[in-house]
């Protein structure tokens, strides 16, 4: 069952929680993630590093581990189809938005704003004042996050193993700055 239903200027979207132990859901989440991440990141970081990161962060085993360590994964759906997904968890006094992805054909339709609004609501429910996320410095999505009110908090270069690094900006959004729905 959808946990939350939002009406927007376009189609309604639902956020459907992926539960630990839902093997079919984990497999579907991994397949959705691999398709989106490969299309978006191969040109930015190269196929070799992206393959490594997909195995490390989006394989069924990785998703199972993340679900077991406090991540919340949600399918983002329009009627009849998965169009993207979210993953987030509390970390260091903030809600860390680990994954916010949409299928290419669904970008630019206002869904990202509603997805961030959903995460802001979850941060508020958890008593957290900030949503944080990492964005690759060369990722065009930076403009989307800035338009949504995120600002650069710091830069990070993280060694993720096998000679690969994530070269990111860490963005933060104060949940008090997010417009309340009404």
User: How do residues 148-176 score in pLDDT, each as one tens digit?
Assistant: 999 999 988 888 887 877 778 899 999 99
Give the count of beta carbons closer than 10 Å to the beta carbon of residue 28: 16
pLDDT for residue 45: 79
Is the whole model's pTM more than 0.85, yes or no?
yes
- pLDDT given for residue 181 in this prediction: 63
Neighbours of 84 (CB within 10 A): 23
pLDDT at 2: 45
Is pLDDT above 80 for 86? yes
Q: Six-digit token pair at 107?
A: 């970008």
The residue ranges of every structural domain in the chain are: 4-177
CATH topology for 4-177?
Answer: Aminopeptidase (3.40.630)
Residue-level pLDDT at 5: 44
Question: Is the model more confident about 89 or about 159?
Answer: 89
Q: Lay out the sheet containing 164-174: strands in order across.
A: 4-6, 13-18, 72-78, 81-91, 94-102, 130-136, 164-174, 151-161
The Cβ of residue 96 has, within 10 Å, a number of other Cβ atoms equal to: 20
pLDDT computed for residue 9 by the predictor: 47
């Amino acid at each position: 069952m959808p946990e939350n239903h939002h009406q927007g200027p376009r189609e309604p979207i639902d956020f459907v929680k992926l539960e630990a132990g839902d093997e079919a859901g984990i497999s579907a989440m991994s397949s959705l993630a691999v398709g989106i991440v490969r299309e978006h990141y191969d040109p930015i970081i190269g196929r070799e590093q992206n393959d490594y990161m997909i195995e490390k962060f989006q394989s069924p085993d990785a998703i199972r581990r993340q679900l077991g360590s406090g991540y919340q994964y949600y399918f983002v759906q329009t009627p009849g189809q998965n169009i993207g997904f979210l993953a987030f968890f509390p970390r260091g006094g903030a809600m860390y938005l680990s994954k916010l992805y949409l299928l290419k054909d669904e970008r630019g339709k206002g869904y990202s704003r509603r997805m961030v609004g959903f995460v802001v609501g979850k941060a508020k429910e958890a008593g957290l004042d900030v949503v944080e996320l990492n964005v690759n410095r060369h990722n065009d999505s930076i403009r989307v996050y800035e338009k949504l009110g995120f600002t650069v908090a710091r830069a990070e270069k993280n060694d993720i193993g096998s000679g690969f690094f994530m070269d990111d900006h860490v963005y933060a959004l104060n949940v008090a700055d997010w417009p309340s729905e009404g």
